[in-house]
Amino acid sequence: MNAVTTPTTVAVIGAGAMGAGIAQVAAQAGHGVLLYDTRSGAAEQAIGNIDKQLAKRVAAGKLAPEQHAACIARLQPCDSLEGLADCGLIIEAIVENLAVKRELFAALEALCRPDCILASNTSSLSITTLAAELQRPERMAGLHFFNPAPVMALVEVVSGLATAASVAASLYATAKAWGKKPVHTRSTPGFIVNRVARPFYAESLRLLQEGAADCASLDALMRDAGGFRMGAFELTDLIGHDVNYAVTCSVFDAYYHDMRFQPSLLQKELVDAGRLGRKSGQGFYDYREGAVKAAPARLTSSSPVEPVVAEGVGALLKPLLQRFEARGITVIQRPGSGLLRIGDATLALSDGRLAAQHSRDEGLDNLLLLDLALDYASATRVGLSWAADCSQSAIDQVVAVLTQTGLHVTPLSDTPALLVLRTVAMLANEAADAVLQGVASAADIDLAMCAGVNYPKGPLAWADALGLSTVVHTLHNLQAAYGEERYRPSLLLRRRLAEGRTLHE
């Protein structure tokens, strides 16, 4: 079905930050837009704020003055629901309250023309439930923008049980015409992003609770090794712990307390204390005036740099070997099982086992484990752990070689799969389950996570690049270490591995 054409008037109900942002997007795309809010003067104020924001873009040379004027001319406040009767698309962006939204859509259905599409910007409520009492539930769908709507590219087009395929297709085409990156998803708890992203927060929170490292160190590893824009603690401080914790609880409840989505007691404690993050001045970090910014832990070494013996190292670590050689470190390559020998130490990529377990299983002394990096050629930091019986001289020898290449080395306690590896494995696992359950396609899930939350690589594409055997093996080892169903590998991962296929095939 075609996109909603620009002669069609679009209505946005709710003049808060999200509603105003959506109204701006539609107006900039060429639609006349009616903005309605029950609060007196709210729509006019929102249009005034849009005017000021666009004026700043004009002053910065990022927007032509005539485009600014045309956009504002298309935005009109509306003082009643009845004034929206002739609109072809109505997007609701009001309070996340099921009863209030259902009452609104019932009123709209009675007012609007039969071909009007009704859409909700809800981030958490079921589209099926929202539409259940409508006479024509097939014309309703979710159109979930991300904040700030004029900036964020992703739009989740959410189909409820009754949503007509033609309506979802029209909304998809419309969002694309508006310059967005739309994805299709079924109306299941969390849709794509709020479901698949849960492990990003959960694994860092778990490692903090277990004392594996501090917030600054864990965040630095996610940024500087994993390639993410932010770590879990700075991101939840930015989102607000009241909001992030509520979403986690909502998803946890919706999935009948599946332990994969278990909320964190640490985050609950922050919410209970009113430490909601940046907006309250304190969260995991202190944002009050005069507060000292926390620094990540970093190992140093005065040991001489030893040659590196690479025994059967695979493609993932080849960039690290090239980095060694570029810094004048001798690299000797010979057959083997993927180990790096550095003086008295043995360095291996984590596979999900504890360093102590790995050392005992393989009969390796002075074993240190290296965490995953998005790209060892460009990473500026790596995570490192070791068993309790590893000698200090072996640790120093490994740290000396890694720091010689310009890498910051951040220690983690002996913990299964370290940080980046376990997070990526769990993101891929959740994404695979979403594909298995028909929530969305692999391509749409990867696009959603990159465009919606700025992941450096889609979790399914990342799993394919690592190799499904690596991901499944890591998850099995995590599950064995913790003895929890939380880390059970998705059937889709195991099936594709058995078939010799990737997740995108």
Which of 108, 106, 28 is closest to 64 using CA atoms?
28
Dist CA 475 CA 504 (whole Å): 20
Query: Which uninterrupted H or E stretch holds 423?
Result: helix 420-436
**Of residues 92, 109, 156, 234, which has the active-site annotation?**
156
Task: Report how far apart, in Å, the C-alpha atoms of 373 and of each of 330, 351, 487 are.
Answer: 22, 13, 21
**Of residues 31, 68, 120, 144, which has the active-site annotation?**
144
Dist CA 313 CA 321 (whole Å): 9
Count of alpha carbons within 13 angstroms of residue 346, beta-carbon side: 19
123 a catalytic residue: yes
Tokens of 42: 């709210």
Task: Report how far apart, in Å, the C-alpha atoms of 384 and of each of 172, 217, 358, 421 are.
Answer: 44, 12, 14, 12
In our burial notation (b when 16+ CB lie closer than 10 A, e otherwise), range 194-219 reads bbbbbbbbbbbbbbbeeebbbbbbbb
Count of alpha carbons within 13 angstroms of residue 408, beta-carbon side: 16
Which of 456, 457, 424, 448 is closest to 152 using CA atoms?
448
Tokens of 57: 């873009």
210 a catalytic residue: no
Query: Which uninterrupted H or E stretch holds 217?
Result: helix 215-224
**Of residues 123, 264, 301, 359, which has the active-site annotation?**
123
138 a catalytic residue: no
476 a catalytic residue: no
**Of residues 126, 170, 187, 194, which has the active-site annotation?**
194
Residues with a known catalytic role: 123, 144, 156, 194
